[in-house]
Amino acid sequence: QVQLVESGGGLVQPGGSLRLSCEASRSVFSFNSIGWYRQAPGEQRELVAAITTGGATTYADSVKGRFTISRSVAKNTVYLQMNSLKPEDTAVYYCNAKSGRNQYWGQGAQVTVSS
């Protein structure tokens, strides 16, 4: 059973930064892709950023230039560095990993951007 454990959420002022971490129970290279989705109240879950086994990255247009996804193979961990945060970035952020036809989710981390 794959486990994804997120950490690093919290409350930050507009313009601030946060880093989310997602530790997987097996190598990040064992997944076709691993990344982050978010869901705001009353909204659909949306892709924020993802990285493939080969290192290719994808970002939502709304976060390009502000968020960066990276990984540590040694720590089985994927990171999401979030800079220049805006109130509209407020959401629950979920780690997601895809392997073949299987998909795995973390428990979610709340990110609130407010003054």
Give every strand in the sheet of 4-7, ordered side by side.
4-7, 18-24, 77-82, 67-72
Determine the pLDDT at residue 60: 98
Determine the pLDDT at residue 72: 95
% of the chain surpassing 90 pLDDT: 99
Band of residue 1 on the pLDDT scale cut at 50, 70, 90: confident
Determine the pLDDT at residue 4: 97
Residue range 21-80, pLDDT digits in tens: 999 999 999 999 999 999 999 999 999 999 999 999 999 999 999 999 999 999 999 999
